[in-house]
Structure 1
Amino acid sequence: MVAAESEERFRTLVLASSAIVWRADAEGTTAFEPGAWLAFTGLRLRDLKRGAEEWLEAVHADDRARVRAKWSAAVAASTTYVCEHRLRRKAGGYAWVVARAVPIVRDGVAREWIGMMSDITERIEIERAREQFMAVLSHDLRSPLAAISISADALQHLRLEAPYGVLVEEIKKTSKRMTELVQDVMDFARGRLGNGIPLSRKRCDLGEICAEIVAESLRIHPDRAISASTRGDLSGEWDRGRLAQMLTNLLDNAVTHGTDPILITLVGDDSEVVLTVANHGRAIPTAALGMIFEPFSHAQTGLHSKGLGLGLYIVSELIRAHRGTVTISSTDDLTTVAVRLPRV
């Protein structure tokens, strides 16, 4: 009697909040609360195609593959699932929702999942407006920054005496850093508002790119233990500059948040190259792993950044542009980012 009353109160609360509660078994087969699902989507689950993934019919076609991949990865790793996507709305069109689920673990194994979908359309619309503003602002900043950099180069050729020569060098460093931040914002805008980050593909060797990035990092951080290991054919049709940017971001993240030794491993097989960046140090909380590649997520993940918090998001977008995949795992003393890049 008490259990039935508690369940009824819970159902009433869920319907009043417009949230959709769902469960999944250990294999990831989902079961949604039918009343909340009907109220939100206007669909009866029994009217959809039968099967473990029947609910995906209500997800926007452009989001389905990403949702399926994220859910499958979370189930495989028994980690928290977090995914933002579009879901059919009863009144017509699509709403933006955030889906979250946590595993119920017994004896170290996820036995079931409890999840909830919440409407975040208003928040997404505000974020889109902010992103458009950032894109316009960063575009307008490029010209004056270029002028500052060119002027600093001209002054440096004059070989000014101290303290003016030192000031010119500081101006160059600062303008370079500001240019990198503006480029990050531009890449962010392309990823969120456009058709993704554009690439200029040419034949290149990821092993050579890695050696250059490691050498550069060691010049900046001579006291750190950074090394690379390579095996197999590491060439492919990629954008060399973008892969260097991706590797730089991953290595900077390992140096900033991890401890030594930091090891980069590259292995090439017939169809792809697998890159891993591993560092020691404090484990990333399980709840944070699902949002680690989201923009501006450093506050939620506990990975405090000196920049805008776009580095790992841009990494994921660059890999997506190359039709690759990226995953992250973190144990008590080892965090590993794994990138798989198809050769073409």
Structure 2
Amino acid sequence: MEDLEDLYENAPCGYLSLAADGVIVKANRTLAGWLGTQSVELLGKRFYELLNVPGKIFYETHFAPLLRMQGYFNEVALDLMGPDGRRLPVLANAAERRTSDGGVQFTRITLFQAADRRRYERELVDAKNAADRARKELEELNRTLEERVATGIAERLQLEKGLHAEKEVARLREQFVAILGHDLRNPLASIAGGLNILSRETQSDKAKRVLTMMSQSTERMSSLIRDMLDLARCRAGQGIAIDPKPTKLRAILEQVVQELQAAHPGRDIQSSLQIANEVRCDGGRVAQLVSNLLGNALTHGAPDRPIKIVAVPGVNEIVITVANEGEPISEHVKDRLFEPFFRATSSAEKQGLGLGLFISGEIARSHGGTIDVKSDRKETRFAFTMPASDQGASLTM
């Protein structure tokens, strides 16, 4: 037969009985053991004395009023405090026994340990908080992603607008090239032809001087237009157009030397042209390159010292060097020599647009070659090297 006393004392839950005034009149050993005390030590105490401070406040504001109002409550979370300060999380169920006239006879309270449940609830709260943080982070990520997408679209539209503007600029550049190539060069050719006709007729000394000056100006204008056309092609990404074919390069270089010697009768231009065989290249463009290098040497070299041009064949290459004596080129100037419109001096005596060396560098590149510069107090030397084979000389068509 079941021992009811043992069942009460050693039940898997805690039991308390309170008198009408709330004083504990009975407590089982299970509850006393949880609190680390004896059942007799609990007798005579009030229930709220077993609670921690928040529990006492809750007891006065919720627990007792709810119990008086409806006579019971279920699963109220409380924290009991043992004599040694140990905290015991519990779930409390309470019920009053009342008289026929409604007076309270006693109150029975059943207590269940809730440490695991509290831990689980905290974990749920932590998980919910983590989920809330993750949701907020996701919302923030989505917001920033939308902003980045909007920014990217705006940048893409701006880029497309810029590309459209660049295409328009390119179209205008092509029109500009066409104007230079046709609307200016054709009338200039007519002027040059007219001057040539007039020069054959008998003229006074003054008229001859004027015709010579006009012919030189016409030639200079033609050179400037040619340089601007070349620059426009390079800016458009087309590079310098060349037409490589077998060429008697020595004869072409001799002609360039003779023309510049005639234009500068007081200067000493010494040449050593050792190219006997034909070379596959664009003779006109190479002549333009060498003329620019010689003109640069005549402009910046010491006027009382010779200009030297040497052309020699190498191993599958041709090397043409132009050297002059005079002040060396400074390093900061040397780094910019082949930039368009750059001039090493701002003197008004130096003519041209500052495109000569830039165009020379582009001509060299079109031939698959290079131009190297060395300058010290002894001399300044420009060396043009290009491949002598058919493959190297026809890289740019």
Give the TM-score range, shorter chain.
0.5 to 0.7
Offset at residue 250 of structure 1 (A): 0.5
Q: Which has the higher helix share?
A: 2
Q: For 2:253, which of 210, 213, 231 is the aligned residue?
A: 210
Q: For 1:320, which of 345, 365, 375 is the aligned residue?
A: 365
Check if 1:181 corresponds to 2:224: yes
Is contact 1:234-1:268 (8 Å) kept?
Answer: no
Q: For 2:333, which of 275, 288, 311 is the aligned residue?
A: 288
Check if 1:156 corresponds to 2:199: yes
Check if 1:238 corresponds to 2:281: yes
Is contact 1:291-1:297 (8 Å) kept?
Answer: yes
Provide the secondary structure at the position in 2 that maps to 1:163.
helix
How many residues align? The count is 224
* Counterpart in the other structure of 2:145: none
Is contact 1:233-1:269 (8 Å) kept?
Answer: no
Is contact 1:234-1:266 (8 Å) kept?
Answer: no
Q: For 1:337, which of 382, 386, 391 is the aligned residue?
A: 382
Offset at residue 292 of structure 1 (A): 0.4
Offset at residue 274 of structure 1 (A): 0.9
* Counterpart in the other structure of 2:180: 138
Question: Matched residues, percent identical?
Answer: 33
Take 2:306 and 2:194, find their aligned partners in 1: how far apart are those partners? 40
* Counterpart in the other structure of 1:247: 290
Q: How does 1:1-344 map to 2 (within 5 A)?
A: 135-139=177-181, 140-231=183-274, 233=276, 235-259=278-302, 260-298=305-343, 301-302=344-345, 305-343=350-388, 344=390
Q: Give the AA of the match of 2:190.
A: A
Offset at residue 128 of structure 1 (A): 7.5
Instruction: Give the number of the structure with larger relative contact order, counting CA–CA contacts within 8 Å between residues 6 or more apart.
Output: 1
The answer for unaligned runs of 5 or more in structure 2 is 1-154, 160-165, 391-397
Offset at residue 257 of structure 1 (A): 0.5
User: Structure 2 length as normaliser, TM-score?
Assistant: 0.51
Take 1:284 and 1:137, find their aligned partners in 2: how far apart are those partners? 37
1:18-62, CA deviations, whole angstroms, 9 ceiling, x for partnerless residues? xxxxxxxxxxxxxxxxxxxxxxxxxxxxxxxxxxxxxxxxxxxxx
User: Structure 1 length as normaliser, TM-score?
Assistant: 0.58
Take 2:334 and 2:172, find their aligned partners in 1: how far apart are those partners? 25
Offset at residue 331 of structure 1 (A): 1.0
1:48-80, CA deviations, whole angstroms, 9 ceiling, x for partnerless residues? xxxxxxxxxxxxxxxxxxxxxxxxxxxxxxxxx
Offset at residue 233 of structure 1 (A): 4.9
Range with bigger deviation, 282-291 or 169-178 = 169-178
Take 1:329 and 1:265, find their aligned partners in 2: how far apart are those partners? 15
Offset at residue 247 of structure 1 (A): 0.9
Provide the secondary structure at the position in 1 that maps to 2:336.
coil
Take 1:326 and 1:196, find their aligned partners in 2: how far apart are those partners? 16
Change (3 A) 1:142 1:270: same
Larger Rg: 2
Take 1:163 and 1:261, find their aligned partners in 2: how far apart are those partners? 34
Offset at residue 234 of structure 1 (A): 5.4
